[in-house]
A = this chain, B = another copy of it.
Amino acid sequence: MNISITKTTTPKAKPTMDNLPFGKYFSDHMFVMDYAEGKGWYDPRIVPYGPLELEPSAMVFHYAQEIFEGLKAYKSKDGHVRLFRPYKNFERMNVSAERLAIPALDVDFCVDALKQLVELDRDWIPEQEGASLYIRPFIIATDEYLGVRPSDTYKFLIICSPSGLYYPEGLDPVKIYVEDKYVRTVRGATGFTKTGGNYASSIKAQVIAHERGYSQVLWLDGVEQKYVEEVGSMNIFFKIDGEVVTPMLNGSILSGITRMSTIELLKKWGVPVSERRISIQEIFDAYQAGKLEECFGTGTAAIISPVGELRWEDHVMTINDNQIGEITQRVFDTITGIQTGTMPDEMNWVVTVD
């Protein structure tokens, strides 16, 4: 399919590109493609960024048949534009699509469309160290119909948001609240996908955690509320007695691309790492035994987020004296180095746009 390009005739004034907030400003263009049953995906186009016009009966407003992805483009010092493992995002988007009864995308085509979009809006990529163009592909159901069934029509879009450092004041350890009342999801449901409902369900617990002074919640499994699953928008890793452990992919947690990259790096470095079931009691026992050495979250937005405090019921666990751990720092430096081009890309993770 050929992608038609309509350039804006009224480029927007760019915001100050230093210390940009996350996900608030959007670049001049967006990619759009439609789907109709019997016709497939059609009319791929890059057009000026602008509003969608949808009937109030559009299914996305009622039954949340919607999925999304998130990835970043960086401009390296030599001016090249770099994407981090973009094929993985569109492969995962197809996993989400399958669970949500949404038609699949052609992964190669999507990466190509993304490259064209980012190339066109390359002036929107902030050059401040660690800043990036956050890229948000998403699909919404657009049938004008109130029955509960898969939509026959969809829109796929990619929008781009220049975003500053996730932690403008540096990589400070965050405080995480272990959620023991609310549940995010359960095996058999949609926890392994990036669908809106998982996030809608998570908002209330997050609001309460914020009020208590915690930046995010750590979810426990939906069946027994005993096993660690993931943090609000990140996967979670622990270093216990020299071994790095992270919850296994059990159908209710997201298969994060930063998670995957972290595991691959640790294996390459010869650091013991395992994916398995981890109870919160085990974490607390390790803490009490002085063996909980590091804890960090992984996700596209923050990349690596050191955890300095975990609160579980009445137990407050201060980790590594609230300092960034050695492995945490090394993973952060390596992934951001590869993303921005200051370190060699030995794993072939980066796709350059130009």
Q: Which residues of B contact A186 (CB under 8 A)?
A: 183, 185-186, 189, 222-223
> Are B148's CB and A199's CB within 8 A?
yes
Closest chain-B Cβ to A23's Cβ sits at a distance in Å of 3
Stretch at the interface among A53-61, A241-249, A263-271: A53-61
Copy number of this protein in the oligomer? 2
Point out the residues of chain B lying under 8 angstroms from A22, CB to CB: 146-147
User: Quick one: closest B residue to A203, CB to CB?
Assistant: B101
What total of chain A residues lie within 8 Å of the partner, measured CB to CB?
65
Distance, CA A307 to CA B57, complexed state (A):
29
Which among B144, B185, B195, B204 is the interface contact of A64 at CB below 8 angstroms? B195
Complex CA distance for A145 and B190, rounded to whole angstroms: 23
Query: In this assembly, does A336 line the interface, its C-beta being within 8 Å of a C-beta of chain B?
Result: no
> How many angstroms from the CA of A54 to the CA of B142 in the assembled complex?
13
Contacts of A90 in B (CB 8 A): none
Q: Is the CB–CB distance between B63 and A199 below 8 Å?
A: yes
With contact pairs A188-B183, A204-B100, A204-B101 given, residues A64 and B196 touching in the complex (Cβ less than 8 Å): yes
- 17 inter-chain pairs at a CB distance below 8 angstroms, sorted by A residue, are A26-B57, A51-B56, A56-B138, A57-B159, A60-B61, A60-B196, A61-B66, A62-B199, A64-B199, A65-B200, A100-B203, A146-B161, A183-B189, A185-B189, A189-B201, A190-B197, A197-B201
| Chain A to chain B: the 7 pairs with minimum beta-carbon distance, closest first | A197-B197, A64-B196, A23-B146, A183-B188, A64-B64, A63-B199, A186-B186
